[in-house]
A and B are shown apart, each in its own frame.
Chain A
Amino acid sequence: GDSVTQMEGPVTLSEEAFLTINCTYTATGYPSLFWYVQYPGEGLQLLLKATKADDKGSNKGFEATYRKETTSFHLEKGSVQVSDSAVYFCALTPFSGGYNKLIFGAGTRLAVHP
């Protein structure tokens, strides 16, 4: 079945460092891909999305490119801030049609210190 694998955390960075969180997926066809973020004490929020190969999703300085050839959707940010500390989830909705059934990775905790 469809699945998502993302790098284990925690990831600990200094402020202004470059961030990469790896995400790969297994799916048939062309799923839609997403990054969700969960800040402390808050619900899951959609961070960015990409619906077809080579699409780049971006939001709040974060970017991720849908790579069909490597089945990847790595999250990047050029300069992280303390306020980016959160848990990040990579997810997909299958191509098979039907409704939006999200399949999540296990999550990666990011801690940014001053």
Chain B
Amino acid sequence: GAGVSQTPSNKVTEKGKYVELRCDPISGHTALYWYRQSLGQGPEFLIYFQGTGAADDSGLPNDRFFAVRPEGSVSTLKIQRTERGDSAVYLCASSLTPYGQGADGNTIYFGEGSWLTVV
């Protein structure tokens, strides 16, 4: 597609339920990132994939959060036993390669996000 696509755009779920958020990066982009943006704050890093592997998952807040990218394209962020504090916008981004963000032509592109509300 033309840009990074995220689904669903909005999700309301009950506390304790399981949620999956999907990201479809720009075609050909090898690097994929997940960020979380709470109300009134800037995005915070969650996890980064290079190809199929999670190269850095240091931002995942706890073991209820997990992400996969089995074929090196689409990624799914999975949240188990959701809590009200998980309510946020979950942003996905992709780039052609993971290096040289300052270099021309290798920009990180963001999707519009998935708004998750846990009630």
Q: Which residues of A contact B (CB under 8 A)?
A: 4, 32, 34, 36, 41-46, 49-51, 89, 91, 93, 98-107
Contacts and interface: CB of A to CB of B under 8 A. Distances in A.
B108 interface: yes
Interface residues of B, number: 32
Contacts of A100: 31, 95, 98-101, 106, 108
Which 9 A-B pairs give the minimum distances between C-beta atoms?
Answer: A104-B42, A51-B102, A99-B98, A100-B101, A32-B102, A44-B110, A43-B112, A43-B110, A106-B42
B45 A46 contact: no
A58 B33 CA distance: 26
Interface stretch (B12-20, B48-56, B67-75, B76-84): B48-56
Given A43-B3, A44-B110, A51-B102, A99 B48 contact: yes
Nearest to B31: A99
Given A43-B4, A99-B98, A100-B99, A107 B108 contact: no
A89 B110 CA distance: 13
A36 B41 CA distance: 14
B113 interface: yes
A93 B56 contact: no
A93 B31 contact: no
Nearest to A90: B42
B107 interface: yes
B101 A89 contact: no
A6 to B, nearest CB: 8
